[in-house]
A and B are shown apart, each in its own frame.
Chain A
Amino acid sequence: DAGVIQSPRHEVTEMGQEVTLRCKPISGHNSLFWYRQTMMRGLELLIYFNNNVPIDDSGMPEDRFSAKMPNASFSTLKIQPSEPRDSAVYFCASSFNTDTQYFGPGTRLTVL
């Protein structure tokens, strides 16, 4: 079975540009999570969707960040405009309800 799929795996962009990260959860999972990992702050939960509905977005750093889940098999995390401090590894994870979370390979974002 395919795991969580994320794209791109690496993204290098310049400050001010729009960045879109994509995620395909495991088939049959109805919960999706976006995390950010940095050396300074560790792993932070940005947003949690259940049945395609955002349940908790309290971890989204500011209005420059937005996330959508138009259907059960696809989600995006958008940063507009991007800033150097957004450089991090972004993970998508999925689960069935509040059971075990399975993580994707991550997207390493570098904002110059």
Chain B
Amino acid sequence: AQTVTQSQPEMSVQEAETVTLSCTYDTSENNYYLFWYKQPPSRQMILVIRQEAYKQQNATENRFSVNFQKAAKSFSLKISDSQLGDTAMYFCAFMRRSNYQLIWGAGTKLIIKP
């Protein structure tokens, strides 16, 4: 069975700093997706970034980038130049290709301080 672990329940940084959120997963699959979603106080679940396991290149979306280490089963999220609006819960999630079930981590609460 697949599992996703986020070892940091809560983090806080100053505005404009860079922060890295950790995620590890366990699977015997070779073909899968990894995602980071954010959930701000509004409770909406927003896709931040997606990585396909077969791609070597790390995904980036503006200030958000990942460090995908397939052999180590690690998928960390780096937020550069953090902004107050980045304050949210961040969830790491795993999904096998050709399957629909998202396996979720417990989440990391990120607070950006002014």
Contacts and interface: CB of A to CB of B under 8 A. Distances in A.
Nearest to A107: B43
A99 B17 CA distance: 33
A42 B43 contact: no
Q: In the complex, which of the residues A48, A50, A101 has the most CB atoms of chain B within 10 Å of its own CB atom?
A: A101
The DSSP consensus for interface residues of chain B is: loop
Nearest to A6: B44
The DSSP consensus for interface residues of chain A is: strand
12 contacts: A42-B106, A95-B100, A98-B99, A98-B100, A99-B33, A100-B33, A100-B47, A100-B50, A101-B102, A104-B44, A105-B42, A106-B43
Interface of B: 33, 35, 37, 42-47, 50, 91, 95, 97-102, 104, 106-107
Interface of A: 31, 33, 37, 42-43, 45, 48, 50, 55-56, 89, 91, 93, 95, 98-106, 108
